[in-house]
Amino acid sequence: MTDPQQVAGAPSAPDGSPSGAPSARPEERPAGPPAAWRERGRRLGGAVAGASETWLLLALVILIVFFTVKAPGKFLTLTDFSLMGQDAAWLLVMAVGETFVILTAGIDLSVGSLLVLAGVMTDLYCIHHGGANASWTVIAVGSLIGLATGAAWGALQGFLVAKAKVPPLIVTLAGFIAAGEGVAYLITGGADFRTVPNRLVNTIGLGSVLGVPWLIVISFAVAIVGGLVLAFTRFGRYTYAIGSNAEAARRAGIAVDRHLIKVYALSGLLSGVGGILSLASFGSTTIAGHAFDNLEVITAVALGGASLFGGRGTMLGSFIGLAFSTVLLEGLVIIGVNQYWQEVAIGAALVAAVYLDQFRRRPRGGGRGRWAGLWPGRFGRQRA
């Protein structure tokens, strides 16, 4: 355990910094400059090789090469990265919230449904205040209503998880059904609103700023801010601490219940952002179009190295995880695989990601081999 190589090769940096952490420890540098540089290089190398992001990035590159070779002149031209980014914009925004939730050892199945509900609420206001010709003020108020709906619903789910101690799987499954299949259909009467403010569609949905589509600008900005909050603020630190050992966090004086409510509210709020992006992109409330968003988002976060047992994962990982699943789906379309196989592929990727997480969580404190966690006999015994 004293070997720095092994130490640096921790499965993922829990403080959320991708790989830069070792170089930020001046007090530990050896005296001489050349030795210091060698040591730093070695540590950095170990951290890069050990980070799950690195391996996923490698897999992503292989996947891109595979599709490029398999469909020459098609893959990178027909679906360029800009188009993929726009297709995945709301998924990325929701993946940011889902990352926080999963890091607390929770799960949020309601994201796609809250996206739909927030879009419906936003458009409901716009329709009654000008419809297709609604002004920016109306759009802004409508958006605030959508965001507030998502955040309030998320906060309610957080309250049920933290205070009523109902398992998050059940709470958010109920939220998924109630918001997506219930309330959204009640408000729309089962038929999509197709009147969406032109200004919203033409700007956020179809427009660009400095050549970059608004959908990408907004979703990347959310991801970057989310990543910074996770890695560098108290909010992020408490999120890791609660997912790692909620009782320890409680004894350390952290208001665990309040933090959980905030995290679920954040996830709901970001689903609301996704709802506005989706509304702008499709020009419709697409109430039936987001039933599997939750699985796609959770798959991306799990692929990105976040542990479903909480405490481990990074925003960068979730981003790369989403890029991986997006490339996989788009690539399968390009090479002409039957679309129903795509759902199978997503399911398989989710199982594979969680399986890999199980064996990355090898026993702590040494004693067992690196591969000990691969076999089913060890499943279920996770916590030290």
User: Which CA distances in Å does 132 have to 198, 260, 283, 288, 334?
Assistant: 5, 39, 10, 22, 35
Residues in CB range of 18: below 8 A, 6 or more apart: 51, 53, 314, 316
Chosen residue from 240, 264, 319, 324 binding other proteins by CB under 8 A = 240
372 near other proteins, judged by CB under 8 A: no
User: Which CA distances in Å does 165 have to 157, 168, 266, 268, 324?
Assistant: 11, 8, 19, 19, 34
Q: How many CB atoms lie within 10 A of CB 369?
A: 9
Q: Are 60 and 324 in contact (CB under 8 A)?
A: yes
Query: Minimum Å distance from CB 248 to other proteins?
Result: 4
Q: Is 86 helix (H, G, I), strand (E, B) or coil?
A: helix
Nearer to other proteins, 94 or 222 (CB): 222
Q: Are 327 and 349 in contact (CB under 8 A)?
A: no
CA–centroid distance for 260 within its chain: 17
Stretch that binds other proteins, among 18-26, 89-97, 330-338, 349-357 (CB under 8 A): 18-26
254 near other proteins, judged by CB under 8 A: yes
Chosen residue from 128, 163, 194, 251 binding other proteins by CB under 8 A = 251
Q: Are 272 and 150 in contact (CB under 8 A)?
A: yes
Chosen residue from 237, 258, 360, 378 binding other proteins by CB under 8 A = 237
311 near other proteins, judged by CB under 8 A: yes
38 near other proteins, judged by CB under 8 A: no
27 near other proteins, judged by CB under 8 A: yes
Query: Minimum Å distance from CB 235 to other proteins?
Result: 7
Q: What is the dihedral of CA 324, 329, 333, 339, to 10 degrees?
A: 160
Stretch that binds other proteins, among 4-12, 32-40, 69-77, 205-213 (CB under 8 A): 4-12
User: How many Cα atoms occupy the beta-carbon half-sphere of 199 within 13 Å?
Assistant: 12
Chosen residue from 72, 211, 365, 376 binding other proteins by CB under 8 A = 365
DSSP state of 171: H
150 near other proteins, judged by CB under 8 A: no
28 near other proteins, judged by CB under 8 A: yes
Q: How many CB atoms lie within 10 A of CB 284?
A: 17
Query: Minimum Å distance from CB 61 to other proteins?
Result: 28
Nearer to other proteins, 36 or 173 (CB): 36
User: Which CA distances in Å does 109 have to 186, 314, 344?
Assistant: 20, 20, 19
Query: Minimum Å distance from CB 315 to other proteins?
Result: 16
Nearer to other proteins, 91 or 246 (CB): 246
248 near other proteins, judged by CB under 8 A: yes
In the numeric block, the tokens 């039957």 are attached to 338
Binding-site residue total for other proteins (CB under 8 A)? 38
CA distance 71 to 5: 41
Query: Minimum Å distance from CB 377 to other proteins?
Result: 21
58 near other proteins, judged by CB under 8 A: no
CA distance 299 to 56: 13
Nearer to other proteins, 146 or 311 (CB): 311
Q: Are 158 and 280 in contact (CB under 8 A)?
A: no
Chosen residue from 66, 81, 235, 292 binding other proteins by CB under 8 A = 235
x-or-dash string of contact with other proteins, 267-306, rule CB under 8 A: ----------------------------------------
Query: Tokens in use for 344?
Result: 């199978």
Nearer to other proteins, 152 or 254 (CB): 254
User: Which CA distances in Å does 364 have to 59, 260, 369?
Assistant: 27, 26, 11
49 near other proteins, judged by CB under 8 A: no
Length of the chain, in residues? 384
Chosen residue from 21, 151, 332, 349 binding other proteins by CB under 8 A = 21
Stretch that binds other proteins, among 155-163, 235-243, 290-298, 322-330 (CB under 8 A): 235-243
Binding site for other proteins (CB under 8 A): 1-2, 4, 7, 10, 14-15, 21-22, 24-28, 232-235, 237, 240-241, 243-245, 247-249, 251-254, 311-312, 364-366, 383-384
